[in-house]
Each structure stands twice: as structure tokens, then as C-alpha cells.
Amino acid sequence: MNRYQLCGRVLLLGGLTVQTAFGQTGTVNARMDKTAESLEKKVVAWRRDLHQHPELGNREFQTAAKIAAHLQSLGMEVKTGVGKTGVVGLLKGGKPGPVVALRADMDGLPVTERVDLPFKSDARTEYNGQQTGVMHACGHDTHVAMLMGAAEVLASVRNDLRGTVKFIFQPAEEGAPAGEEGGAYLMIKEGVLENPKVDAIFGLHINSQTEVGTIKYRPGATMAAVDEYAIKIKGKQTHGAAPWSGVDPIVTAAQVVMGLQTIVSRNLTLTDNAAVVTVGALHSGIRQNIIPEDANMIGTIRTFSPEAQQLVHRRINEIATNIAESAGAKADVKINVMYPVTYNDPKLTDQMAPTLEALAGKNNVKLTPAQTGAEDFSFFQQKVPGFFYFLGGMTKGKKVEEAAPHHTPDFQIDESCFVLGMKSLCHLTVDYMELANKGVAVKELTASGK
Ligand SMILES: [Zn+2]
Ligand SMILES: [Zn+2]
């Protein structure tokens, strides 16, 4: 039995203490917990079905149909085809209050599953011209199943809800296919945060290398902004035996690669935030005795603040352009801005962390270092206060080194984490509504990672 069951709950709100009576939020949370526990088998079955039938970004047709049917069966107002295949359900509570959005992403990845499971995916497709398996190798199947469960739980207490819940099932978190728009960005563009206007948004990500029962989060910059770049070095082709009669793009590219290393090591304020500049591919030449005309490189940039992002962009341009010029070559630099920083509104995070602590136990809710992976939940957080956290999905006692990371063929999730995941979404929703009812909930961005 935890402290909350014994005596209700105390929220510390930046000096302001709010006693939540056991008779109000407490009983709603307790009723929701029972329902969540009773739904466990159903949620596991949904997840296994989704796992066995994964779909790539912007192609989540069957997934969306299953979600829409479920939300409709709960008597919700349901919109489909939002941002291509997105599904949005609206649950109006019995009492007036804020609009809380809960988000789950739906897409699988071009990865061939290697785990031996009865519900292993045999799906195959062509991706970027290659034949590949399709797999829920990031656990988005678990996100969908848990949010479908949370929808059923919250619908069961709808008369007691002090506000509205918007369930956002989002396509293409991992990126839309080439030439297509998609993901959170497109859903927002199509108005998902309006009508009714969302006051705050919550989302979780399963983690294959964090033990079941543990929740991790970080206030402020949590996951990196990601941008990609391409640099083309144009030299002058010549015979490999007479380099003096040409301009060697390979030697120039090598100098650029080394120059790029100095951005993080010499230019960034490393005590503020980490950053990464990676060269992911470098192609040039065809034969041992030809100095080719050009060299091409591509890479990824990860930063945690707009200042760092701007600095890295500027330095990539300066380094590539000036090194090329010093060699008599020319550099063409293109930078494609992709996902912003996943930025947990600090005040909202402060307000909601006690909810997770009351639910999972204080020792099981931990601060996590910033992660250099990216997440397009960040687009929602640019518009409304948002809180994104990580749910442990690794079997207790397993060694982290033995648990396969996300995006790999051996990726696996322990389903015993689903009940905690469902409860966390439901408690955040109800507790946020309670705070709004008391007039203290964060409804506008208090800072942003823009
Ligand atoms: Zn992923
Ligand atoms: Zn993911």
C-alpha cells in the first residue's frame, strides 16, 4: 500500500501546497486503477495483434481502423484521416474543465524481426528500393495498445471527469516516406490541437533497457533536435599520377571531416548541453589512378538548444566553405531542419512529476540524462505545454547490455509494464484536471525549446 492510498495526496506546486481530498481525485484514480488492471489481458491481446501486423509511417491503415472502431465503441466522437492516417477521439467529461491531449504514435520500422515470439511479425515490404521486413522495433505497438486501454479506462469514469480528453493516435513518428509530409507536424497543421483547443499534452515512450516498474523523465530539453546535412566538395578531375594538375576533392573532404570534429570539441559550450555532429557517409571516386571531380558527404546533427543548433549550422557552413576554398575547391552545403528539441515544459513537469511518484513509488521515478535520439512529440510541445516520459519495458533483473536497443531486430518489450503505463496516462489526465479546477494548472508555455 502506498502513501497515497493511506492518506490522500499532497501536491507541492512551487511553494503552494494543495491537499487533494481522498474523496475526489483519489476515488476516481482508485476506480481507474481497478479498471486498468481488469483490462490488462485485452491490452496485451491488442498489442500482440498490432505487433504481428506492423505498418510503416503514413501507411497505418489497419492500425487506424482498429483504433477508430475501439474509440467509437466507447461512444466517442472520432475523426479519422487526420494527418494522413491519424485518428483523434474526443471524450467529453461530465463536468467542465481543460482539454488534455494524450498521444500515441502508430508506425513500425523497416526492420526484420529476429525475436522468436508467437506473434512475431512476418510482414515484408519494399523500402527505399530494398526488400525488408516490417517490425514494431520502437514499441509504438505498445503505445497504441496502452492508449486504447487508457481510453477505455477514462471513458468508464467520464461522468466524473472535469474536462475533455483528446486521444491523438499519430502516424509516421519515425518520419514520413520521401516526398510526403507526416507525423505530429502534419496533424498540427491540420488542426489537431484546436477545436477544442488543447491546454496540455502528455505522451510516453516505452524503453527496452529500463526495468518494468520504473519511469524516467527530465524537465526541459529531454531529447535532441535533429537536422541532416549534405556537403558536396567540387574539385577538378585529373590523372592520379599528376595531382598538381587538378584539385583533389578527397583530400579536401578529409580535411572537412576533421574540421567538423572541432565544432563540438572547440565551439560549443559543453557545460550547457551536449551535441553531436556525425558524418554518416562519404563517397568519392571510382578508380585508383583517377582523382575524381567531387566528393559527397551526409550526416546528422543533434543539439539541445536553439543557440547550439544555430552555432552548429553556421560552423558547418564556415568550415566546409573555407576549407574547400583554401584548397581551390568549392563546397555546397545543404542543411535540412527536421525535429525540434523534445522540451518538457519545466513548470508543467514540476506539477506532474508528483503524480508519477504517487503512482509508481518515489524510488521508481528517476531523472534521466538528455538523450541524443529525437522524437516528433516535440512539435506538440512547441505549441502547448507538454510532458513526455519514459516507461520501463525491460524484464526485471535483466542486464541492460543483454536487452536489445530500439530499432534492432532483437528489440523486445516485457508486457507486464502495460498496466503502469495505462494508469500513468489516466492519472496525469485526472490530476491535471484537478489542478486546472483549482486554477493552478499550467496552460501556456512557460519556456520552450524552440
Ligand atoms: Zn524509434
Ligand atoms: Zn519511438
CB 442 within 8 A of CB 347: yes
- Give the E-state strand segments of 235-371 in sequence order: 238-239, 276-284, 290-291, 294-303, 330-339, 342-344, 365-367
What is the average pLDDT score of the chain? 94
The tens digit of pLDDT for each residue in 79-120 reads 999 999 999 999 999 999 999 999 999 999 999 999 999 999
Tell me the average pLDDT across 334-363: 97
Tell me the average pLDDT across 135-143: 98
Catalytic residue, candidates 185, 217, 339, 432: 339
Tell me the average pLDDT across 390-402: 97
* The pLDDT of residue 214: 98
Q: Measure 143 CA to ligand 2 centroid, in angstroms.
A: 9
The answer for residues whose C-beta is within 8 angstroms of residue 221's C-beta and 6 or more apart is: 273, 304, 305, 341, 342, 343, 370, 449
* The pLDDT of residue 242: 98
Long-range contacts, stretch 129-134, CB < 8 angstroms, 24+ apart: 134/54, 134/55, 134/56, 134/108, 134/109, 134/110
As beta bridge partners, residue 162 has: 95
Q: Measure 412 CA to ligand 2 centroid, in angstroms.
A: 13
pLDDT at 19 over 70: no
* The pLDDT of residue 20: 47
* The pLDDT of residue 22: 41
Q: Measure 320 CA to ligand 2 centroid, in angstroms.
A: 33
CB 249 within 8 A of CB 240: no
pLDDT at 8 over 70: no
| CA of 174, nearest ligand number | 1
The tens digit of pLDDT for each residue in 157-192 reads 999 999 999 999 999 999 999 999 999 999 999 999
| CA of 406, nearest ligand number | 1
DSSP state of 169: E
What is the identity of the amino acid at 93? Answer: G
Catalytic status, residue 415: yes
* Mode of pairing for the β-strands spanning 365-367 and 215-217: parallel
Q: Considering only 124-128, 159-163, 191-195, 340-344, which range has the smallest mean pLDDT?
A: 124-128
| CA of 105, nearest ligand number | 2
Percent of the chain topping pLDDT 70: 94
* The pLDDT of residue 26: 77
* The pLDDT of residue 1: 36
Q: Measure 175 CA to ligand 2 centroid, in angstroms.
A: 10
Q: Considering only 22-36, 239-253, 282-296, which range has the smallest mean pLDDT?
A: 22-36
The answer for residues whose C-beta is within 8 angstroms of residue 238's C-beta and 6 or more apart is: 245, 246, 290, 291
* The pLDDT of residue 273: 87
| CA of 141, nearest ligand number | 2
* The pLDDT of residue 449: 72
Q: Considering only 25-34, 52-61, 231-240, 370-379, which range has the smallest mean pLDDT?
A: 25-34
- HSE of 348, CA atoms in CB hemisphere, 13 A: 29
Catalytic residue, candidates 40, 228, 293, 415: 415
Q: Measure 209 CA to ligand 1 centroid, in angstroms.
A: 14
Catalytic status, residue 339: yes
Q: Measure 90 CA to ligand 1 centroid, in angstroms.
A: 27
The answer for residues whose C-beta is within 8 angstroms of residue 12's C-beta and 6 or more apart is: 354
Alpha-carbon distance 398 to 313, whole Å? 41
At 441, phi and psi to the nearest 5?
Answer: -70, 145
| CA of 377, nearest ligand number | 2
Where b means 16+ CB within 10 Å and e means fewer, 422-446 reads bbbbbbbbbbbbbbbbeeebbbebe
Q: Measure 408 CA to ligand 1 centroid, in angstroms.
A: 10
The tens digit of pLDDT for each residue in 32-85 reads 999 999 999 999 999 999 999 999 999 999 999 999 999 999 999 999 999 999
CB 395 within 8 A of CB 248: no
At 316, phi and psi to the nearest 5?
Answer: -60, -45
Alpha-carbon distance 140 to 135, whole Å? 10
Angle made by CA atoms 319, 248, 234, in degrees to the nearest 5: 60
Q: Measure 122 CA to ligand 2 centroid, in angstroms.
A: 20
